[in-house]
Structure 1
C-alpha cells in the first residue's frame, strides 16, 4: 500500500513531497471495494484501535478534575462549591478552544505523528497535577492554571476523529466514528470510577476496599502519565499517516462559510456539550445535594464516588448505538429522537430536584431526607446521558453525510469531477468535525458554570434554574433538526430527501 500512482475515480492521490516513508500510506482508496477488502479494512481497524486508546487517555486526563475536585477539601484545600465547579469547567473551555488547531494538525503533520505529540502533551497536566495536590498552601489561581492544562486531553478528540474520518468509507463512517468517540468518552467514566480507588478515597461498592492510609491524589496523575508514555510508543509503532489527508488551514476554514457547519455546531452543543458538561459536574452535584462528610470516612447520605462514573459510562456506551442507528435510519431522525428524550428526561430530573431540601450547611438530617429521592434522580439523569450519547453518535454520522451529499448533488456520477468532489468533501467534513467539536465542547464549560451560578445564593436553586434553561435549549435543538433536515418543504429539501 505504498504505490503512488493516482486514480481519480477512486480517490487515490499522489504523495506530496516529504509525505512518504515507512509510516506514510500513499495510496488509500476506502471507497474502492476491492482495495478495502484486500487489506484496507485491516489497516483502518488497526489505526482505529490505537486511536481509541489515545483518545480514551486524553478524555481521562481532560476529566481528571471532575472527580478529584470533590476530594480536594479532604486534602486540606479550603475551596467552596463555586470554586470547585470552576475547576471542573476550565479544562472544558481550554479543550474546546484547542479542538480547532488539533484538527488542522492531522493534515499538517499526519495522524500518526500528531497522535504521538498529543499523547506526549498529556504529561504536562498529569505531572503538574501530581505536584500541586501535594502542596496544601498552593493558591487557588495556580489550581486554575493547572486545571486549564488538562484541556490538552480535550483537544485529542478532534484530531482523532478527523484522522479516522479519512480511513473509512462513507457507508461505515457512522459506526467507525461512533466507536472511536465512545472509546474516548469511556475515559471519562473510567477515570471517575477508578480514581477514587487509586487515590485511596473509596472502594467500589464494597468489592474493592479503599486504602486505609488516606487520600493521595498524586497517584492517579502518575498512573496517567505512565499511560501517556505507552500511548506515544503505541502510536509510533502501530499507526499510519495518510498522504491523501492533506489540506491547508485556509482550505479547511472554508467550512465556516457553510451554513451546515453552524447548524451542526448548535446541535453538537446540545449532545456532546451536555455529555461532557454533565460528566464534569455530576460528582459535585451528588456531593452537594445528597452527601455530607460526617461521620468519616464515608459520611452520611449518598457517597458521590460510588455513582459519579455511571453517567459518563452510559453516555459513552450509547454513542456507538447512535452511530449505528444513524447508519440504518438516518442521522437526522435519530438526532431528533435523541433531543426528544433529553427534553423529557431533563424535565423529570428537574422534578426530582423540586422534591429536595437545600443543604447549604451540610446537615446530615437533610442528606438522609434527600437520599430517598436519589434513585429517581440517578435513573432520570442516566436517561439524559443515554439520550445525549445517542445524539452524539447520530450527529457525527450526519457531518460527513451532509458534505458528501452536497458534493454528489453538484456533480455527475462516475466522473473524475465526482471523485474529486467526494474526496474534497471528506477533507471538508474532517475540518468541520474540528470546528463543530470545538463549538460543541463549549457546552462542557457552560454547564458547570450554570450549576455554580455565583449570582444565586442557594446551590440547589441554581441547579434547578440551570435545568430549566437546558430543557428550553433542547427544545430549540429539536426544532432546528426537524426544520433543517426533516421538513420536506424547507430550504434544505435536498438534504432531507437524501436521508441525512
Structure 2
C-alpha cells in the first residue's frame, strides 16, 4: 500500500485515514500540536473559571458590602455552571470537531472577563448581576469535558496517560495561575489602562482589582486564532443517542464516584481555600475580630491559596508517564489513601485555638492536593484502558462534568455547616471511594485492571 494511502491526510480540516493505534495512520506531530494548542486554551479557561475565587476576597476591600455567606455562594456558582456546561460539552467533540470546539470556546472566555472587569469598578453593582457573571465564568470549566475527550482521539492508548495528564495538569494550572497572577496585577496599573482610576483598599493603598479580569483577554484571542489556523478534526462521529450508551457500563458510575473524590476535591477546595483561610485563621477570623492579634500578623488566604492547586496541577501533569508505565489503577488507589489521611489531619486543625495552627492546616492541604494530582492522573489513565475509544471519550466527559460540581458543593456545604464538619464528611467519602478503587481496579485479580 502506498504511503499516500496509509498516512493521514492533513490538507483538509478533517484528517483522513486516522487511527492512533496504527503507526502507519498516526501522525505524532499533529497529535502533539493539537495537545499544546488546546491545552493553552484550557489553561486560560481554568483561569476564567476561578476568576471569582481570586477577586472575591478583595471585593469588600474596594467598597462592596457582601456577607461571608454571599461570598461563599459567589465563589460556588462557577462550579454549578461549569458542571452544567460540561454536561453539554461532553457531547460536542464528535459533533463539531476539535477545531471549532477550541476556536469558538476561546472567544467565549472573553465575555465573562469583560463583564467582571466592568462590574468590579462599581461597588454598587447588584449582587444578582455578580451571580450572573459568576455563572458565566463556568464556560472556562465546562470546556474541559470537550477538550479532554477530543485529545483522547489523537493519541494511542500507550500514550494516553501522558497526553491526558499533561493536558489536564497544565489546564488545572490555570487555577493556580489566576490566584497568583490576579492579586499581583491588582497592585499596579496595566499598560494602557491608565484611564481607569484605581480603587482604595482597607489601608488606603490603590487597588486595581479589575486588572485580574482583563489581563488574559489578549491570550484568549491568541488561543482562538491558533485553533482556527492550525487545528484539525478527526473522523469520530456519534449522535446523542449513540453517546449515552456509556450509562449502561457500571465502570462509568464507579469511576464517576472516584473522580468526584480526586478532581471534585481539587476543584472544590481550590475554589474555597482562600475564604476558608481568611475566615478560620485570617482577617475575618475570631483572632482578628477579638483584637488579640494584629491583622498584619495573620496569614491572608490570597497569599497562599495558589500553592495548593499549583502542586496538584504539576503532579497531575508529571504523573502521566508513571501511569502509562505502572497502570492508572495503582495510582488512583495511592491517591485515595493519601487524600484520606491528609484530609483527616486538616480537619483536626479547623477549630483552632491559635493562628499559628494555620501552618499545620496549610501543610495538610498541600499534601492533600499532592495526592489529588496522583489520583486525577491515575483515573484518567484508567478510562481509555478499560473502555473502547468512543465510550472512553464519553466517560471522560461525563466524570469530568459531575466532578466539576465540586466548587458548588463545597461552597454550599460551607454555608450550611462548620468547616471542620465538612472536612470530616469529606474524609468519610474519600474512604468509601478508595475502597471502591481497590476492589474493582487496584487489587490483585481485580475485575477491571487498567
TM-score norm. by structure 2 comes to 0.90
Tell me the equivalent position of 1:387. 371
- 2:394 aligned residue (428, 431, 435): 431
Tell me the equivalent position of 1:349. 346
Tell me the equivalent position of 2:357. 373
- 1:452 aligned residue (415, 418, 425): 415
- 1:168 aligned residue (155, 163, 170): 155
Tell me the equivalent position of 1:285. 276
Following superposition of structure 1 onto structure 2, how do residues 312-351 of structure 1 map, counting pairs within 5 Å?
Answer: 312-351=309-348
Q: Do the aligned residues in 2 keep the contact of 1:71 with 1:201 (CA within 8 Å)?
A: no
Tell me the equivalent position of 1:400. 384
Tell me the equivalent position of 1:470. 426
Paired with 1:494 and 1:292, the residues of 2 have a C-alpha distance of: 51
Tell me the equivalent position of 1:302. 299
Secondary structure class of the residue paired with 1:246: coil
- 1:218 aligned residue (207, 210, 213): 210
> 469-478 or 91-100: which moved more?
91-100
Using the TM superposition, give the Cα deviation of residue 103 of structure 1 relative to its aligned residue in structure 2, in angstroms. 2.2
Tell me the equivalent position of 1:480. 436
Q: Do the aligned residues in 2 keep the contact of 1:4 with 1:26 (CA within 8 Å)?
A: no
* Residue 133 in structure 1 maps to residue 120 in structure 2: yes
Q: What RMSD over aligned residues (CA atoms) do the two structures have, in Å?
A: 2.4
Using the TM superposition, give the Cα deviation of residue 494 of structure 1 relative to its aligned residue in structure 2, in angstroms. 4.0
Using the TM superposition, give the Cα deviation of residue 33 of structure 1 relative to its aligned residue in structure 2, in angstroms. 2.5
Paired with 2:283 and 2:88, the residues of 1 have a C-alpha distance of: 42
Secondary structure class of the residue paired with 1:241: coil
Q: Where does structure 1 lack aligned partners over 5 or more consecutive residues? A: 203-209, 358-368, 404-424, 457-461
Aligned residues: 429
TM-score norm. by structure 1 comes to 0.81
Using the TM superposition, give the Cα deviation of residue 100 of structure 1 relative to its aligned residue in structure 2, in angstroms. 2.3
Tell me the equivalent position of 1:122. 109
Paired with 1:427 and 1:298, the residues of 2 have a C-alpha distance of: 54
Following superposition of structure 1 onto structure 2, how do residues 45-124 of structure 1 map, counting pairs within 5 Å?
Answer: 45-124=32-111
> 270-279 or 228-237: which moved more?
228-237
Paired with 2:298 and 2:133, the residues of 1 have a C-alpha distance of: 32
- Residues 307-365 of structure 1 deviation map (CA, whole Å, 9 limit, x = unaligned): 110011001011124433322222112111111001111111112224x14xxxxxxxx
| 1:162 to 1:4, Cα distance in 2 relative to 1, 3 A | farther
Tell me the equivalent position of 2:226. 234
Instruction: List, as ranges, runs of 4+ consecutive aligned residues in structure 1 with deviation greater than 3 Å.
Output: 210-213, 297-300, 486-489
